[in-house]
Amino acid sequence: MKQILDKDQVNALFSSCTNQDDVLVGLYRLAIPNWDEVKYVVEGKPHIGKEGWQVIYDLFLKFEEAHSEDVFPGHFWLYLGFSADRDLKAWEVDITEVELVFK
């Protein structure tokens, strides 16, 4: 399933959240419409267009710097975030490879 993320909603997550966990869950919530029904992710990551991926990565870097997180810069997005996909439009997200278990 493909959809377009709202860039303003993405930016709002980084402005309103106080830790990276909440930002990441918020991004998954935007990408997976029925996120509240998900028990856990078995495997796979959402895919996002390369430009959108880079913007979110840069936002994570700024977030970490502003919140004095003593971590490898961008690690959260690199390891737990979405995969960059050159075949998708900038803010287009595809979750077809994500295997979910529902409550």
Residues near 13 by Cβ (< 8 Å), separated by ≥ 6?
A: 22, 23, 26, 27, 30
Nearest Cα to Cα of residue 103 among 50, 35, 56, 5: 35
Domain count, the chain: 1
Say what percent of the chain tops pLDDT 70. Answer: 96
Report the C-alpha gap between 6 and 33 in whole angstroms: 13
Residue type, 85: D
Structural contact between residues 27 and 86, judged by C-beta atoms closer than 8 angstroms:
no
Range of the domain at 44: 2-102
Pairing mode, if any, of strands 92-94 and 83-85?
A: unpaired
pLDDT (tens digit, 9 = 90+) per residue, 20-58? 899 999 999 999 989 999 999 999 999 999 999 999 999
